Chain A
Amino acid sequence: MLLNSDIAGKLISKGLELGADFVDLFIEKTQLQTVSYKSSQIDQVQSGINSGIGLRLIFGNQSLYAHSNSLEEKTLLIIIENLAAIYKCDPKKSFTGAFNTGSDFKHVAAFGDSDLSLRDKIQHVAKLDQLIRTKSEKIAQVGLNLIQKIQEVEIYDSLGMHRTDKRPYIRLAASAFAKDGDKQTSAFHGPGATGGWEFVQSLNFEEIAEMITARALTVLGADLCPAGNMPVVLENGFGGVIFHEACGHLLETTSVEKKASVFWDKKGEQIANTAVSAVDDGRVDNQWGSISIDDEGMETQRTQLIKDGILTNFLCDRMGEIKTGHPRTGSARRQSYKFHPASRMRNTFIEAGNSSREEILASVENGLYCKAMGGGSVNPGTGEFNFAVEEGYLIKNGKIEKPVRGATLIGKGPDVLMKISMVGKDCTLTAGMCGSVSGSVPVTVGQPPLKVDDILVGGQA
């Protein structure tokens, strides 16, 4: 227990006495360890503990939030008084004093670890460095980061809910830098999971080395991508960033509640091509974006966002529910206790369709094949998004032709969703980090291979 339940009860009672309709507490202790491996040696080993509490008071549909490193009762009571001063009124509710401590939720993260020392773990990771370096003499540098985090959270609210959870995260981020004369470039791959060391042991280093080296070398020798509107085929896995940016952010009630999403009033309407069905699922075992309970203590769920092109649900947290009336979906997330919770994506993907990869490619006369995507961003209010192509190839007469570099895809979410005309069969998920109003949180994106009939490709005019 991170915070004594008696103290939690006193804090919540105080908030309600001062007129709040709802009070919740989010207590966190996170142990973090990162190892940086560079130039074939250990560059840095670093560890630390983040700890503190976030306190929220809701008055009507207004939210007041504070956070502190201190867990002292006296300090926290003063913070609640200061917070409540802005809307202080006669009490409307009282706290029963009892908490319902539940643990009957699905645990999405296996808590495995090994007896290996950190030094032994680093020696294992170092094999990837060596494998990448042996693939080509043009590999000038390899950078590896091993990140392990255990986030313990405890959540209390004025409805008597009390939940605790322990969330283990592990990620191995690899970068390869290639050089050929004056030409230089880099490639990145960063698999991650909720779990322990066994995840890294399960990775196929040979495949990763092959893939990351090939990507760096392909881009190194590629010509600039021609610019213009054209059909685009997006490969599975991180290609799903298109849905994350073009649609996912626009379905978070954080934007919907402010009418700052072009989809705010489109529930039940056709917003995508009928080939598109999409899901945000927090329950997938050991996935990087999975959570057993959200940061408001609600058990997470699988949320069907779009079914056959129809918008079926938004991603909703408590404030989203209060302001929009849409039901909560176990999607309240935050980087740490320093952030107010907000509706955020978890593992978001387009579901498998009926087309084979060969059929999709064969349907394109002149276009772009995006084998690997970089990151992107979106303006939810206008739906304008952009994302970078990390490894791309031109398609001519249905065949993948020469590689190209420096391509960016831009467009408007609503337009692009309507132009996804073919969806492949094999959906895979890829880890990433998503930054938004409640900080940076782990997410996965995913999709099968798919075709967008027409999109603006930025490159060489």
Chain B
Amino acid sequence: MINQEIKQMMKKTIDFALDQGVGACDVIVSRGDSLDLKAQNGKIDKYNLSNSQVFGIRIIEDKRVGIAFSESTDEKSLYETVKMARENAKTSDENPYETIEGIALEHIVENDPHLLQKDETTQDEKINLALKLESEVKEREPRVTAVPYGGVGESAYQYYYMNSPGSFCFQEERYVTCSTSALIKDGSDTSMHYHSSVARSFDSLDWEVCVEESLYHATKWLHGQAIQSGHYDVVFTPDAFGSLLSCFGNIFSAKAAKDKVNPMAEKLGSQIANKDFTIIDSPIFHQSFVQSIFDDEGFKREDLPLIQNGVLTNFYHNTATAKYFGVKTNARASRSAKSSLGIGGTTKVIKTGKTTDHDLFDGTILEIHSMDGLHSGTNSMSGDFSLGCHGYLKKNGEIIQSVKGITVAGNFYKMINQMVGIGHLLKHNASKTFFTPLIRFEGLSIAGK
């Protein structure tokens, strides 16, 4: 629930800034508490408790923006932070687009059962779950040499936003996680897989799936081999496709377009993908794990079509990019207490197609489950990617070979025009933040044997 002391402290800081001659300002406070438990060799090996709070202010003074933050929230530190922000503004160039104005808005997401659930799990039960995640993996497969990653986590988070025109927003949430991994060795072959589960309460965590998935894939890939180099039709799992798509997220950014680093900056209204490809940014998608009702300038969010039937229809906007391009904000401002004003999306949902699983997996396809080096093997400007990956070679839907030691390469902007089937069932990634049907892409370049 809202901590009134924090709310008053925010108001007091804004009043202080305005008294100093600042034209407008906004303040973000984020607070978090978390617990992280890890087991090793039948004992709790790591037990981490954290408690953090950060306060960030953005001021506009003489059309210049200044940002500062502090993790100390005593009155003196807050006033020092205002002074730092003012100094930074004085150093900045004029920015006629970034403003803090408009009517006072209020969005309060408090005690929302979707985001914050009562949970009376005891510490002993959490410890037992962490121990079980390790022991189950070891007991079920004798070739497991270690469970190097995994454990149990709990995190509670509060977010406060207030600005000088009078807006106030608040959201609180709590989530829990569990995860495990299996490192298997057989002769000179080694394999490892990790799986996690996230939920709003401990009894909703699917620890059994974590154990099963870790063992299933680690076992399958233990004796996996590279396939012959060539061009293969590829289906990515939702986790793999979501990760790849996020590397090219700049194509939806009005800020990147303004900064001349969005390769699709001039393509708004143009066909950039297969005509059956539609993707929507959906802040309150009912199946999503996250709900994002307001943005980091306090504006209410609504569904935003990004690509409709292959046509690029919208960019993410905050008020600054909207002003620059002469449009209205679509409430995709993104800013943390420590960062400057940017843009960001919410849950992405790709519309289902008509292709059945039978047709999607017809013939020989490579199903890619995980990719390595996404941070370095992708180029968001050119669209090129070249990545190490694991997966399964399938024939008519049946696994005929476990595959590792290969790379997949292509150009993302060409690839989204090379869809030969969009599945009829909506699936999601492990964290339930990305929803997509399975999509078959034609002829990606695979380097193997």
Instruction: Decide if A and B are genuine partners.
Output: yes
Taking Cβ atoms with an 8 Å cutoff, the residues of A that contact B are 35-36, 38-39, 41-52, 61-70, 79, 82-83, 85-86, 117-119, 122, 140-141, 143, 177, 183-186, 219, 224-225, 227-228, 255, 258-260, 262, 338, 340, 374-377, 379-384, 386-388, 405-408, 410, 456-461
Question: Known contacts being A382-B190, A386-B372, is A457 close to B447, with CB within 8 Å?
Answer: yes
- Whether the Cβ atoms of B68 and A47 lie closer than 8 Å is yes
| Chain A residues whose CB sits within 8 angstroms of the CB of B56 once the complex forms | 48
- Whether the Cβ atoms of B377 and A374 lie closer than 8 Å is yes
Taking Cβ atoms with an 8 Å cutoff, the residues of B that contact A are 40, 43-53, 56, 65-73, 77, 81, 84, 87-89, 91-93, 123, 127, 145-146, 148-149, 183, 190-192, 226, 229-231, 259-261, 263, 338-340, 372-373, 375-377, 379, 381-382, 384-388, 404-409, 445-448
- Whether the Cβ atoms of B48 and A140 lie closer than 8 Å is no
- Whether the Cβ atoms of B51 and A44 lie closer than 8 Å is no
- Whether the Cβ atoms of A48 and B72 lie closer than 8 Å is no
| Chain B residues whose CB sits within 8 angstroms of the CB of A376 once the complex forms | 373, 376
- Whether the Cβ atoms of A227 and B447 lie closer than 8 Å is yes
- Whether the Cβ atoms of B372 and A377 lie closer than 8 Å is yes
CB distance from A28 to the nearest CB of B (A): 10
5 A-B residue pairs with CB within 8 Å: A45-B67, A46-B339, A49-B69, A340-B46, A461-B230
Expressed in whole angstroms, the Cα–Cα distance for A387 and B387 within the complex equals 8
| Chain A residues whose CB sits within 8 angstroms of the CB of B71 once the complex forms | 49-52, 69
- Whether the Cβ atoms of A86 and B44 lie closer than 8 Å is yes
- Whether the Cβ atoms of B53 and A86 lie closer than 8 Å is no
**Does more than half of chain A's interface fall in helix, strand or loop, or is it mixed?**
strand
| Chain B residues whose CB sits within 8 angstroms of the CB of A86 once the complex forms | 44, 47, 123, 127
- Whether the Cβ atoms of B340 and A44 lie closer than 8 Å is yes
* Interface contacts beyond A41-B93, A64-B48, A66-B50: sample of 14 additional A-B pairs, CB < 8 Å, sorted by A: A44-B67, A46-B340, A62-B46, A64-B47, A66-B49, A67-B48, A177-B261, A228-B447, A382-B183, A387-B376, A388-B376, A458-B386, A461-B409, A461-B446
- Whether the Cβ atoms of B127 and A386 lie closer than 8 Å is no
- Whether the Cβ atoms of A386 and B229 lie closer than 8 Å is no
Expressed in whole angstroms, the Cα–Cα distance for A14 and B191 within the complex equals 44
| Chain B residues whose CB sits within 8 angstroms of the CB of A262 once the complex forms | 190
| Chain A residues whose CB sits within 8 angstroms of the CB of B44 once the complex forms | 62, 86
* A260: contacting residue among B146, B376, B377, B379, CB under 8 A: B146
Per CB-CB distance, the 10 closest pairs between chain A and chain B, nearest first, are: A458-B407, A227-B447, A260-B148, A375-B376, A48-B69, A386-B388, A66-B49, A388-B376, A386-B373, A408-B386
| Chain A residues whose CB sits within 8 angstroms of the CB of B445 once the complex forms | 227, 459-461
CB distance from A215 to the nearest CB of B (A): 12
- Whether the Cβ atoms of A65 and B47 lie closer than 8 Å is yes
Question: B259's closest neighbor in chain A, by CB?
Answer: A38
- Whether the Cβ atoms of B381 and A184 lie closer than 8 Å is yes
Expressed in whole angstroms, the Cα–Cα distance for A406 and B4 within the complex equals 54
| Chain A residues whose CB sits within 8 angstroms of the CB of B191 once the complex forms | 382
